[in-house]
Amino acid sequence: MSFGGAGGNPLEQKLQFEMVFGVISGCFEDCVNDFRSNTMSEGEKTCLSNCAARHAGIQELIVQAQNELQGGMGGGSGF
């Protein structure tokens, strides 16, 4: 299984998998609570979609912050 941006490093792939699995299981636990039907309700689908989008947005903010920190650290020393 390969994840974008994880490269060939098995540790990075494992961490990426665990993060994605955590989001999926967390959203499922929060959104799906009626198992009387073999299909999800529209409310459950909407909840899952919103939850995934929220986590994707948070991940994007984290990556931006990391990039800004790395950019600031890699600047010249002023000498």
Identity of the amino acid at 68:
E
**Tokens standing for 44?**
């459950």
Identity of the amino acid at 60:
E
- Tell me what pLDDT residue 4 has: 53
**Against a cut of 0.75, is the pTM above it?**
no
Residue 2: CB atoms within 10 Å: 8
User: pLDDT of 42-75, one tens digit each?
Assistant: 999 999 999 999 999 998 999 899 999 988 765 5
Q: From CA 35, how far away is CA 45, in angstroms rounded?
A: 14
pLDDT mean over 33-48? 94
Residue position matching structure tokens 């999926």: 24
Q: Which CATH number fits domain 10-70: 1.10.10.10, 3.40.640.10, 1.10.287.810, 3.30.413.10?
A: 1.10.287.810
Banded model confidence at residue 19, pLDDT cuts 50, 70, 90 = confident
What is the domain partition of the chain in residue ranges? 10-70
Q: Classify residue 38 by its DSSP letter.
A: S
